[in-house]
Amino acid sequence: MSKLVTIYGGSGFVGRYIARRMAKAGWRVRVAVRRPNEALHVKPYGAPGQVEPVFCNIRDDASVRAVLQGADAVVNCVGILGEVGKNRFDAVQADGAGRIARIAAEQGIATMVHISAIGADAKSDSLYQRSKAEGEALVQAAMPGAVILRPSVVFGTEDQFFNRFAGMARFSPFLPVVGAKTRFQPVYVDDVAAAAELALTQGAAPGIYELGGPDVASFRDLMVQMLAEIRRKRVLVHVPFFAAKIMGTIFDILQKISFGLFTNGVLTRDQVRNLARDNVVSKDARGFVELGLTPTPMSAILPDYLYVYRVGGQYKAIHESAERLRKG
């Protein structure tokens, strides 16, 4: 019988790519999510019955244990960018990660991949970064052989980074940029999945790997590149950090006093703290080179999905070509 991997958060942005790769590698894939009926898109990744979404709440021991039954390996992709209801940073990214690793160890599962993030720091003033660091520590304590992947901002067809700002550019003449000079090292989502697959199927030295693509650019330069890709001219408004903190505070308060009627998906105070720090691979960190993988440049991927934000969408390139022929 083929091996089984349980992927917590396997229907999310990064998780679905790992699930697809593991299915193609011949593994059975158990996708553990809070809403299985919203994760049916993972089923076609393999043969009938090979990829199955199942219910799990990573805040509950029994739930985590149930979906690990019979698994040969485990992947944790669960993460949040903002706190809503009971989904707090410490509950999800620290305690949840630790719970998965502890129960996996109890069940004798030797192989684990944990998706963290560049910037994880136990001493950070950011709750997000502190919870990521605590989650890593709990995983390593329970599963010393675990492979921890720390990607920079992840891009790809379903991302919430370039898609978000490209969507804004369709309707607004202005694009607000908080932390215009902050540097990022965007990494293609399938490259992160490839690293996870390698660790699961071929083995990789335990420990932390920081994953960044071949391009390093400031937030502002990334927005300039995105705008060039969607063929739109917009005014980039640099929002000072003091103003961003005020905005984040107001939105956070609105979420709190609205009792869930308003969810702050705009800007939180914690996100402002994160935007004040570069998000690039550390100088001495292990990464794609040590894994034997070559990351994909943004220029090879962005045109494949950002074209929908151009005026004329998929036909824009045809119009541009025709215009060049006319002028030639």
Note the pLDDT tens digit of each residue in 256-294: 999 878 899 899 999 999 999 999 999 999 999 999 999
pLDDT at 259: 81
Scored b (16 or more CB within 10 A) or e, 187-218 reads: bbbbbbbbbbbbbbbeebeeebbbbbbbbbbb
Could you tell me which residues come within 8 angstroms of residue 47 by beta carbon, excluding any fewer than 6 positions away? none
From start to end of 15-98, where are the E strands? Answer: 28-33, 51-55, 73-76
CB neighbourhood size of 113 (10 A): 25
Q: Which of 85, 205, 217 is nearest to 146 (CA)?
A: 205
Go through the chain and tell me how many residues it has: 328
Q: Which phi and psi (to 5°) does residue 116 adopt?
A: -110, -140
Query: Is residue 295 exposed (0-12), middle (13-18) or buried (19+ Cβ within 10 Å)?
Result: buried
Q: Which of 172, 153, 286 is nearest to 237 (CA)?
A: 172
Predicted confidence (pLDDT) per residue in 11-61, tens digit? 999 999 999 999 999 999 999 999 999 999 999 999 999 999 999 999 999
CATH number attached to the domain at 4-218+276-309? 3.40.50.720
Predicted confidence (pLDDT) per residue in 80-115, tens digit? 999 988 889 999 999 999 999 999 999 999 999 999
Predicted confidence (pLDDT) per residue in 134-150, tens digit? 999 999 999 999 999 99
Residue 292 tokens read as 């034997």
CA-to-CA dists, residue 310 to 139, 174, 307, 325, angstroms: 43, 16, 5, 20
Could you tell me which residues come within 8 angstroms of residue 86 by beta carbon, excluding any fewer than 6 positions away? 59
**Separation of alpha carbons 100 and 93, rounded Å:** 11
pLDDT bin (cut points 50, 70, 90) of residue 318 is low
Where are the chain's structural domains?
4-218+276-309
Residue 90 DSSP one-character state:
I
**Separation of alpha carbons 44 and 238, rounded Å:** 43
Q: In sequence order, what DSSP letters do the residues of 143-176 get, joined into one string?
A: -TT-EEEEESSEESTT-SSHHHHHHHHTT-SEEE
Residue 310 DSSP one-character state:
S
